[in-house]
Amino acid sequence: MKAFLKACAVLLVVFAIAGIVGLFRIVSRGISSKAQPGHVETVVARTVRHFAIPRSARELKNPVAKTPDVIAEGMAHFADHCASCHANDGSGDTEIGRGLYPKPPDMRLEATQSLSDGELFYIIENGVRFTGMPAWSTGNGESHGTWHLVHFIRELPHLPAEQIEQMKKLNPRAPDEIREEQEHEKSDHVESDAAKPHQHKHQH
């Protein structure tokens, strides 16, 4: 009981500090999302996140065996669903990522890599309030894809350049990019046909 009351007291203090820091930053710097969170705000936010994830979730182990196919599936999923904000290399340095508040973390660094598999799984499935991180859970109990992502996230600190380049082909593309590619292919096809020698049929 004492441990529970102590944990509640700590949470109350953390939330109070978070509220004061947040209010101070809004009053002093406005509501622009271009700024970077300060050190205190970052520490408080991560502490709150830690306590918000149930212990049972934090202690989960990845039930999916790590294989090349699993890593490849996780990479494809990351490139298609996550890279718009997190970048293919996990740095968070994208046009969308730079406009978010707080900015997406550099997932190659200790702050992300030190999270347990269960914490990563929980964050992906449930999202994080007051950030740009959505909940990706489908609600149908299918979670193997999320565990594949957890395996791939562990690969980010040492992802080779050729793999990052390969992911570019898997990134979502805007309609304008697709149309431009189709027009380019059509133009190449026309030029190729024009370059072929004409064959004349002679009647005897």
Question: What CATH number does domain 56-173 carry, 3.40.50.300, 3.30.530.20, 1.10.760.10, 3.30.1370.160?
Answer: 1.10.760.10
The domain ranges of the chain are 10-52, 56-173
Residues 24-37 have pLDDT tens digits of: 655 655 666 667 77
Q: Quick one: what percent of the chain has pLDDT higher than 70? A: 73
Residues 53-73 have pLDDT tens digits of: 999 999 999 999 999 999 999
String of DSSP letters for 49-95: HHHHS-HHHHT----S---HHHHHHHHHHIIIIIHHHH-TTSS--SH
Residues 70-120 have pLDDT tens digits of: 999 999 999 999 999 999 999 999 999 999 988 999 999 999 999 999 999
The whole-model pTM stands at: 0.71
